[in-house]
A = this chain, B = another copy of it.
Amino acid sequence: MEDDKVFKALADPGRRRLLDLLCETNGQTLGQLCASMQMTRQSVTQHLGLLEEANLVSTERRGREKLHFINPVPLYEVFHRWIAKFEENRLGLLHDLKQALERDAP
């Protein structure tokens, strides 16, 4: 259920770029992020909002500024769960493939 927000948040190149920027320099203000983003401040705000809803960034107000911090935890959780699932079936998948091919040319 939460996974969906994470996947959808990562679906946009701009949002992935924002995560990259925060990965390089954490705790940037909205204005700082806008300076690297080639789009309107309002658009950046919207993207950051989605990232925040997906729990990928957390924010903190300091006076009239808003600082943005990256939160990689949901990334780890979602990815590891997925990797684990496919890793687990990896040998099985190869086996199925082999069987399917042999069904064709026994």
Contact = CB atoms under 8 A, between A and B. Distances in A.
Interface of A: 3-4, 7-8, 10-11, 13, 16, 20, 23-27, 60, 62, 67, 69-70, 72, 75-76, 79, 82-83, 85-87, 89-90, 92-93, 96-97, 99-100, 104
Given A7-B10, A79-B79, A27 B86 contact: no
B13 A11 contact: no
A89 B23 contact: yes
Greatest chain B CB density within 10 A among A10, A16, A99 is at A10
Please give the count of copies of this chain that the complex contains: 2
Greatest chain B CB density within 10 A among A3, A11, A104 is at A11
Contacts of A96: 25-27, 69
Contact of A86 (B3, B72, B87): B72
Contact of A93 (B10, B72, B90, B104): B72
